[in-house]
Structure 1
């Protein structure tokens, strides 16, 4: 899998079909314990059911290896309830990270009269302003980075956490395996991973009825805990830096700017084909991408092979969040990737008033951008297939009046839109936590909860 990881991160697509066939054969043979479920989120052609199959197999061996140790610990939750519901947030990303930017206002808005907040961090302390901001959100902030998986679980259990919320899933640096030790009576998959974790160790997944339609429940090991709007938080106290201009960003003075700031591994050749067709049919346009030193040359070469001058791909370097948001507003239209959508990058674009188009799929990761567009009342920008996606992008790039109307509507309404109402979002999230806890106290098994599930 190391070759596969490297090739995806640098947009080396020559062996993608070979890898799809190998993974599908492994799924059919039940031999997927070496294939991280995370890989299937971004690889076209795999269903949510296959993603669950991969997650189940990924964890099966790990569960077997730790079975004796977990049995010896045998945590017992026969204890009287506490005055407040004790929430434990588990992550490696309490720092300058996309998850932290999304979640910060929600953590700050939690009702401390009803909930007690514990952070369990196993990532690096970068000493940055986001780390300091997050530390202030919690009643206790605990560093687990030097502890074993079992000792992490013991620490969480000793703190009498009622609901343990995992913010990582199977993303880079994960220690989601802590949840397999069952250190809390209720365990939740939330925000950081757009898919099921499989197995039987996570009770709920925070979602909405667009990213996970009720009929897809069988593709998830967790019960659905549905938010009434989008599952993704964002907030409205998000600083946008000083205004930038095209020259500062290396963009041409004139011409349409298509943009996608998703990580390179999310870009599939089929999507890149469409982008190059758009460049061909929109004279003077450019495609603005996130800089990746190893992928840049390959993408420019791929563009050249499709008849597009490599100079029409412009790359944006890494800058602090506020400066990133300021430059993002220079884009005319954000183009989404499939099957792994823009997530944080999508809500950031909408926050600064830049329209986004997406092509919806049938997995959680492929429906996130659609969920966000619904939350800002722009369902018209959700395409049902690639042909409609291309036609919509071409129409907007060639009809500036319609695009300007959408952009104006987004910018004028953003402070009143559900996606950016962190206070209302937090109330709904706390309502889900309360229902989870009430069901546990009543001896009821996890089941779909939320107003719209």
Structure 2
């Protein structure tokens, strides 16, 4: 309802009365971080970790934003599943007789103007229709936008089940004889894991929208790559891991970038400024990371930090935090909401994209790279903190992946102070954008199709799900 102040007050009172009340603490932390309110940051972080370790139900999407531990993330997801969408013990639907095309359905709340759709639209369109029958199960809003129309055209069948009860959605999926059901939502906003808990399809796959394990026995596979899930960390995933080559993240090479750029002055940037850009949700910014960013501003004359303008209170809080670190408030510049093509275009006005940790830029990093803006990241210790490294390796820029925040800060300064290095990085990215795998939408689709064929072969042969590389 947008009544954030009342929500925060109610959540504070709830946590004070009962700190183990399901989801209250994680909802409170999410609300505060969305606003850049860090007054209780360390205390809330410790309370979240303690809650997960003691079996209190915590919202996984919030926790994955705050946690660097894949082991704790698995614990969090398992507790959440037991509370919200426990395994219903349903048998796998019977194996249909062989048909000429494998029936695949993608299920999501985000078939609209949403980051997941912007990444995956090209994937849906590129599927080989002679070998795959591809459907959409949409339980999110119809925003009647261009992306919604594009997605409807991309699938052979598009079912809007936003007002259909879970058990009837399960019946629909079974009536369609869906063999591979790909869930694009996990535990993100609007997701409906109870459909999966009823074992709607013989094979159920966790992919793209939720960067980590769902902790559920009814999810057979997660699609990943060797960077986001190192082989030694498979034990922290309830799913078996499908290792896609290069990067796990689908990208859409059809996304248009407006040919005409706005002038810097039109978006509040000085022509001679060095622009550090971090177009990420405020909830991904931490005080430790902000310390680094403010030191970069302090050591780079005439520089500014360009952030997304998501909330007026967040804007005030971040500027206040900058001043507390000795940086003038006006050196934090906010970019208002813009249409997707305009947003992509304005990346070209920046000089360097600064990634976040422990939860990286995901679609946002892909956007920056597609627009030609180099992304500097620090390799995290869980899936969500390793995505930008995956993307950079798949576009031939592994030199922009650092291993510590000290190294990240040092390299950012070096890039800021070395115009020849900046030019070389942008030129390399421009050359690689069309030749390296990251933006090869058709190639990515073929890899995913190979994965579908293998998991279906295993299922038909009576073999249990197992991790494998495509």
Q: What TM-score range do you get, normalising by the shorter chain?
A: over 0.9
Partner of residue 6, structure 1: 31
Whether contact under 8 Å (2:93, 2:201) holds in the other structure is: no
Counterpart of 1:136 in 2: which secondary structure?
Answer: helix
CA distance in 2, matches of 1:255, 1:199: 49
Matches within 5 A, 1:440-451: 440-451=459-470
Residue matched to 1:233: 250
Once the two structures are superposed, the pairs formed by residues 205-244 of structure 1 within 5 Å of their partners are 205-241=222-258, 242-244=260-262
Aligned-pair Cα RMSD in Å: 1.3
Question: Is 1:90 aligned to 2:112, yes or no?
Answer: no
* Alignment partners' CA distance in 1, 2:62 and 2:381: 16
Counterpart residue number, 2:392: 373
Say which of 317, 320, 332 aligns to 1:313: 332
- Tell me by how many angstroms 1:359 deviates: 0.5
- When normalised by structure 1's length, the TM-score is 0.96
Q: Any residues of structure 2 matched to 1:130-145 within 5 Å, and which?
A: 130-145=147-162
Q: Which aligned segments of 4 or more residues in structure 1 are displaced greater than 3 angstroms?
A: none
Q: Check whether the contact 2:269–2:333 (CA below 8 A) recurs between aligned residues.
A: yes
1:282 pairs with 2:310: no
Aligned with residue 110 of structure 1, among 127, 147, 161: 127
Distance 1:26 1:350 in 2: 37
Q: Counterpart of 1:54? A: 76
Q: How much does 1:76 deviate?
A: 3.3
Q: Counterpart of 1:286 in 2: which secondary structure?
A: strand
Tell me, yes or no, if the aligned pair for 1:245 and 1:327 is still in contact at 8 Å.
no
Maintained 8 Å contact 1:325/1:348: yes
1:266 to 2:262 alignment? no
Q: Any idea what the Cα deviations from partners look like across 1:232-282, whole Å, max 9, x if unmatched? A: 111322100122220111101212000000011000111000000000000
Matched, 1:27 2:52: yes
Deviation at 1:75, TM superposition (A): 5.6
Conservation of the 8 A alpha-carbon contact between 1:109 and 1:423: yes
Match of 1:77 in 2: 94
Q: How many residues align?
A: 443
How far 1:24 sits from its partner (Å)? 2.2
1:395-443 CA distance string (max 9 Å, x none): 1001111111111111123111211111111111100010010000001
CA distance in 2, matches of 1:146, 1:350: 37
Instruction: Specify every segment of 5 or more residues in structure 1 that has no aligned partner in the other structure, as ranges.
Output: none
1:67-216 correspondence to structure 2 within 5 Å = 67=88, 74=91, 76-216=93-233
SS at match of 2:228: coil
SS at match of 2:212: coil
SS at structure 1 position matched to 2:313: coil
Work out whether 1:43 is the aligned partner of 2:66.
yes
Q: Distance in 2 between matches of 1:361 and 1:124?
A: 33
Given candidates 298, 305, 318, the residue that maps to 2:317 is 298
1:139, distance to aligned residue in structure 2 (A): 1.1
Retained in 2: the 8 A contact 1:168–1:192?
Answer: yes
Residue 402 of structure 1 aligns with which residue? 421
Give the whole-Å Cα distance in 2 for the aligned partners of 1:76 and 1:167: 21
Tell me if 1:419 matches 2:419: no
3-state DSSP of counterpart to 1:294: helix
Question: 2:84 & 2:145 partners in 1: Cα distance?
Answer: 34
Report the Cα offset of residue 62 of structure 1: 2.9
Residues 291-323 of structure 1, C-alpha deviations (whole Å, 9 max, x = no match): 022310000000000000000000001111111
- The whole-number CA distance in structure 2 between the counterparts of 1:146 and 1:152 is 10
Shift of 1:5: 2.1
Give how far 1:224 is off.
0.7
SS of match in other structure, 2:337: coil
1:165 deviation in Å?
0.3
1:358 match = 377
Query: Is 2:93–2:199's contact at 8 Å kept on the other side of the alignment?
Result: no
Q: For the structure 1 residues 332 and 389, does the alpha-carbon distance in structure 2 shift closer, same or farther, using more than 3 Å as the test?
A: same
* Structure 1 position 332 matched with structure 2 position 351: yes
Q: CA deviation at 1:82?
A: 2.7
Post-superposition shift, 1:79?
A: 3.2
Could you tell me whether the CA contact under 8 Å between 2:303 and 2:331 is conserved in 1? Answer: yes
Cα drift, residue 25 of structure 1:
2.0
CA contact (8 A) 2:372 2:426 kept: yes
Which 10-residue stretch deviates more, 233-242 or 204-213? 233-242
Write the deviation string for residues 146-202 of structure 1: whole angstroms up to 9, x where unpaired. Answer: 112222212111211000000001111111221111010000000000010002011
CA distance in 1, matches of 2:376, 2:411: 8
Q: What is the CA-CA distance between 1:63 and the residue it aligns to?
A: 4.2
